[in-house]
Amino acid sequence: MHKLLVFFVLVLVNSHINSQECNITFKGKITDFHDNSSIVGASVHILNSKKYTSSNFDGEFEFKNLCTGKITIEIKHISCETKRVVVNLTEDTFKAITLEHHEEELNEIVVTTETKNEKTSIEQTLKKEVITTFSDKNLGDALNTISGVSSLNTGNSIVKPMIHGLHSSRLLIINNNVRMFDQEWGDEHAPNIDINAFDRIDVVKGANTLKYGSDAVGGAIITKLRKYALIDSIFGSTTTSLNSNGFGGNINTELIKSYQSGYYFRFQASLKKFGDFKAPDYNLTNTGIESINASLRFGYNTYEKGFDAYYSFVNNKIGILRASHIGNVNDLVQAINSLEPVFIRDFSYNIDVPYQNINHHLLKVEAFKRFQNLGKLTVQYDMQLNRRQEFDLRRGNLRNRPVIDLQLFTASLQPDLEINSIDNFKINTGLLLRFQQNNPIVDIGASTLIPFYNKYEAGIYGIVNYTIDETSSLNAGIRYDYSRIEARKNYFQSDWSLYNYDVLFPEFDTGVVDGIELETRPKFTFNNISTSLGYEKKLNKDYAFLLNYGLAQRMPNPSELFSGGLHHSAARIEIGFLTIAKETANKFAISIEKNNENFGFSVSPYYKQINNFIQLIPTGLRTTIRGAFPIWEYNQIDARIFGVDFDVNKKISSKFKYTGNLSLLQGDNLTDDIPLIHMPSANFSNRITYYNEGFYKLKISLHQRTVLQQNRFPDYNFNTFNPTTQQQVFVDISSTPPAYNLFGINSSAEFHPFKKGSMLVEFNIDNLFNVSYRDNLNRLRYFADELGRNYNLKIKINY
């Protein structure tokens, strides 16, 4: 019986084996994703089997005698991304397979092409090493090391970048491919960006920024994150920084997990805290800062397709120098004439009024797909929510309420198509749809500086990059933007008539009157055209010539149109006008560069002609129930800005290197034949660096920076009546402080105390000789000196 059972089992198994067809042939052809050329010698393996083969001269391969069912094919080739394909075999099958042939070489070509495009715009880059040095500072401080870049400061913690004398709405700040919107119109509104979150920062001084917007009159600042290798890995770093000035510092950590399949995850967070900072001779009361930042990134990246999801959060609480809060005309005159602040207290970590509290949320989701014989399609959706609160000295039940409370919501949809299937041509075209809403919190017991508004935007652009030959390339682009803004704002009836709005804009008048105020609904539409043209020529292996031209148009921002009240953190009354029109700028830039192992330099002259240039200038003084404040009004003129940036580097020996830069700039108000306000003065810097690769990668740098006095400035001084002294007083708000010269030391060494990873130790000294000075571009220069000496210890652990 037992033998009979075994016999029947063997018959059934044999029947099953014979019933499963194992005579199927699977053929395939492997070609290059870009040009459809055959890939020879690719290794082809059926996983979980011993069946191997390789592609022949025509890229073809073949497997015979396969059984029905699913199989997984793995294809490998030198310098290619390994690819796996699942095939369900039911009959003889053929499948075409594409690989990214020589992926590393092609990625290098892509990077070079992008660099050329930005190079025609005169671009400079801050890499991760420099960003780490400024980990406890801010974006503006880091960018100040680049020629042609300066900053407009409000004290020491609010640093607003300037490129060639232009800032705020004239600069595009791109956060991981998202254009930042964070009430950037204010002079004392620093970008809400944590520089620790990025691996690279590009500064584009020219005109080739059409992909991001038409209104980059000044240029663009582009922060970038790196791509991760397709390997199973986990790595990260933690940086701790301690400072003597302000008795604070920051800690930043990041962790990255990548997978061979293409998935990746990144977490980054930083915490910064400082107390009152110190000038060489006194404390700067109420200048502390508290900052919490975090970002999350998750995505999937292969050559043919992928996605990237990114979220960042920034929370900054920034103290404003207490001595800058003026109460009457006498306070302002006394502050200007005094050698030290009129309000000085002992060191404290407490941040009291006046101060700013800003929260910024950013969410981006991006997906891309490459199409054979066409290019790459990317679709991005992003959202931002910015809340800005400004607190001032108030009494009673208003003490804990902000005097300004603004919520700005922005959402954008941007499809982008990059066509690279045409020899020597690369075409980039895309669309923009954007909605923005400013929603001020009205229950603050004060008038709203910026009113409620909705803003609608649509844009389209096209950019062509043409490689003429091995030594020269051409870049050209055009962009059109439509913008519509709809606001709700109350005006005093007397002001509505005074500004002639009842004649110019009767359609905005709703007829609703609340006491002495008139409710209005301003609506404006703008159409902007921008173009760019760039040319690069390599003269030989060391020299290159770059030429760039750009036309940029910028619609007035909400502050320039609607401001009408006391801007407390700026300590002034700001007035905008509905008659402000859009700006039109023509920009020209040239650069001649030499770069080799031993010596390099660049000379980059530029010229900008800006018609209807919008400026904010002082016009007088007004006394309110909160005190006496200068009045600043927006107006329009024709302007001209021109200058030149010099950069040089020299390898002195195998261990010593010199770098230096010089920036010269002149800004002219052509309408009134006077200098432009708030233009950076001539400045230069020098750095000598010692580097010993064999001794713990020891690096020691001595750096020097000189800023000359700005002797070209408009005279906006005025006389006013002082009710305290019952006399006319002269208020000098235009004269500039003298030149200053600063020295500093940077040093670092790398150790390996662990089996894996490394530890970088930095020791830096800023303002080495504890110089007392004031900067023309610091809005609080009337009230206090700049920071004194600072010792900084930084430890970064890579793991």
Q: Which of 186, 220, 254 is the last residue of a domain?
A: 220
Rounded to an integer, what distance in angstroms lies between the CA atom of residue 745 and that of residue 736?
28
Task: Provide the CATH number for the domain around residue 56.
Answer: 2.60.40.10
560 with 536, same domain?
yes
Q: Which residues lie across from 514 on neighbouring strands?
A: 517
| φ, ψ at 677 (rounded to 5°) | -80, 150
For the chain, percent of residues with pLDDT exceeding 90: 61
- Cβ-contact 100, 76 below 8 angstroms: no
The amino acid at 456: Y
With residue 641 as reference, give the H or E element that holds it: strand 627-651
SS (H, E, C) 171-194: EEEEECCEECCCCCCCCCCCCCCC
DSSP character at residue 679 = P
Mean pLDDT of 359-388: 95
Is the pLDDT score of 700 beyond 90?
Answer: yes
- Cβ-contact 174, 222 below 8 angstroms: yes
Q: What is the pLDDT of residue 444?
A: 56
Instruction: Using alpha carbons, select from 526, 531, 554 the residue that is nearest to residue 216.
Output: 554
253 with 211, same domain?
no
DSSP character at residue 397 = G
Three-state SS at 496: helix
Asked whether the bond before 723 is cis by omega within 30 degrees of 0, the reply is no
Is the pLDDT score of 626 beyond 80?
Answer: no
Burial class (CB in 10 A: 0-12, 13-18, 19+), 498: exposed
pLDDT digits (tens, 9 = 90+) for 7-41: 444 444 444 444 456 889 999 998 887 667 788 88
Rounded to an integer, what distance in angstroms lies between the CA atom of residue 636 and that of residue 580?
7
Reported as a pLDDT band with limits 50, 70 and 90, residue 106 is very low
Residue of higher predicted confidence among 66 and 2: 66
Rounded to an integer, what distance in angstroms lies between the CA atom of residue 788 and that of residue 51?
72
Q: What is the pLDDT of residue 112?
A: 30
Rounded to an integer, what distance in angstroms lies between the CA atom of residue 483 and that of residue 455?
7
Task: Provide the CATH number for the domain around residue 380.
Answer: 2.40.170.20
Rounded to an integer, what distance in angstroms lies between the CA atom of residue 310 and that of residue 264?
12
pLDDT, the chain, mean? 88
Q: What is the pLDDT of residue 643?
A: 96
- Is residue 488 a part of any domain in this protein? no
- Is residue 168 a part of any domain in this protein? yes
46 with 182, same domain?
no
Reported as a pLDDT band with limits 50, 70 and 90, residue 413 is very high
| Strand bridging mode 200-204 / 171-175 | unpaired
- Is residue 48 a part of any domain in this protein? yes
Rounded to an integer, what distance in angstroms lies between the CA atom of residue 86 and that of residue 130?
46
User: How far is the CA of 178 from the CAs of 217, 223, 309, 430, 463, in angstroms?
Assistant: 18, 9, 12, 15, 19
- Is residue 498 a part of any domain in this protein? no
Rounded to an integer, what distance in angstroms lies between the CA atom of residue 199 and that of residue 227?
10
- Cβ-contact 684, 663 below 8 angstroms: yes
The amino acid at 722: N
Three-state SS at 196: helix
Is the pLDDT score of 103 beyond 60?
Answer: no
Three-state SS at 62: strand
621 with 640, same domain?
yes
Rounded to an integer, what distance in angstroms lies between the CA atom of residue 175 and that of residue 359?
16
Rounded to an integer, what distance in angstroms lies between the CA atom of residue 381 and that of residue 394?
41
Give residue 32's domain range.
17-100
- Is residue 490 a part of any domain in this protein? no
Residue of higher predicted confidence among 408 and 82: 408
Rg (CA), the chain: 31
- Cβ-contact 766, 747 below 8 angstroms: no
393 with 454, same domain?
yes
293 with 432, same domain?
yes
Rounded to an integer, what distance in angstroms lies between the CA atom of residue 328 and that of residue 358?
29
Reported as a pLDDT band with limits 50, 70 and 90, residue 119 is very low
Give the DSSP per-residue string, 238-266: EEEEEETTTTEEEEEEEEEEE-TTSEEEE
| φ, ψ at 510 (rounded to 5°) | -85, -10
Rounded to an integer, what distance in angstroms lies between the CA atom of residue 657 and that of residue 660?
10
Q: What is the pLDDT of residue 641?
A: 97
Q: What is the pLDDT of residue 742?
A: 97
75 with 215, same domain?
no
**How remote is the C-alpha of 6 from its chain's centroid?**
76
Rounded to an integer, what distance in angstroms lies between the CA atom of residue 286 and that of residue 154?
13
pTM of the model as a whole: 0.87
Rounded to an integer, what distance in angstroms lies between the CA atom of residue 311 and that of residue 225?
13
User: How far is the CA of 357 from the CAs of 100, 316, 362, in angstroms?
Assistant: 48, 6, 17
Instruction: Using alpha carbons, select from 306, 303, 372 the residue that is nearest to residue 31.
Output: 372
pLDDT digits (tens, 9 = 90+) for 551-594: 999 999 999 999 987 776 666 788 999 999 999 999 999 999 99
Domain tally, the chain: 3
Instruction: Using alpha carbons, select from 655, 622, 596, 614 the residue that is nearest to residue 731.
Output: 622
Q: What is the pLDDT of residue 629?
A: 74
Burial class (CB in 10 A: 0-12, 13-18, 19+), 552: buried
Spatial neighbors of 758 by CB under 8 A, at least 6 apart, are 750, 751, 752, 797, 798
Rounded to an integer, what distance in angstroms lies between the CA atom of residue 339 and that of residue 646?
35
- Cβ-contact 208, 534 below 8 angstroms: yes
168 with 292, same domain?
no
Q: Could you count the other beta carbons within 10 Å of the beta carbon of residue 231?
A: 8
Rounded to an integer, what distance in angstroms lies between the CA atom of residue 77 and that of residue 39?
9
- Is residue 495 a part of any domain in this protein? no
- Residue count of the chain: 799
Q: What is the pLDDT of residue 114?
A: 33
Q: What is the pLDDT of residue 620?
A: 78
The amino acid at 412: S
Instruction: Using alpha carbons, select from 426, 432, 415, 430 the residue that is nearest to residue 476.
Output: 426
Q: Which of 76, 100, 124 is the last residue of a domain?
A: 100
Q: What is the pLDDT of residue 409?
A: 97
SS (H, E, C) 416-441: EEEECCCCCEEEEEEEEEEEEEECCC
Give the DSSP per-residue string, 569-588: GGTEEEE--TT---EEEEEE
Q: Which of 151, 185, 220 is the last residue of a domain?
A: 220
Give the DSSP per-residue string, 501-564: HHHH-GGGEEEEEETTEEEE--EEEEEEEEEEEEEEEE-SSSEEEEEEEEEEEEPPPHHHHH-E
Give the DSSP per-residue string, 645-669: EEEEEEE-SSSEEEEEEEEEEEEEE
213 with 250, same domain?
no
CA atoms within 13 A on the CB side of 211: 24
Strands (E), 52-91: 52-54, 60-66, 69-76, 83-89
Mean pLDDT of 118-137: 79
Q: What is the pLDDT of residue 688?
A: 97
Task: Provide the CATH number for the domain around residue 171.
Answer: 2.170.130.10
Burial class (CB in 10 A: 0-12, 13-18, 19+), 63: buried
**How remote is the C-alpha of 776 from its chain's centroid?**
24
- Is residue 176 a part of any domain in this protein? yes
- Cβ-contact 29, 58 below 8 angstroms: yes
216 with 230, same domain?
no
pLDDT digits (tens, 9 = 90+) for 240-298: 999 999 999 999 999 999 998 899 999 999 999 999 999 999 999 999 999 999 999 99
Is the pLDDT score of 111 beyond 50?
Answer: no
- Is residue 439 a part of any domain in this protein? yes
DSSP character at residue 335 = H
383 with 448, same domain?
yes
Residue of higher predicted confidence among 621 and 549: 549
Instruction: Using alpha carbons, select from 685, 571, 547, 670 the residue that is nearest to residue 612.
Output: 670
pLDDT digits (tens, 9 = 90+) for 282-291: 999 999 999 9
626 with 639, same domain?
yes
Q: Could you count the other beta carbons within 10 Å of the beta carbon of residue 618?
A: 18
Residue corresponding to tokens 């809005």: 779
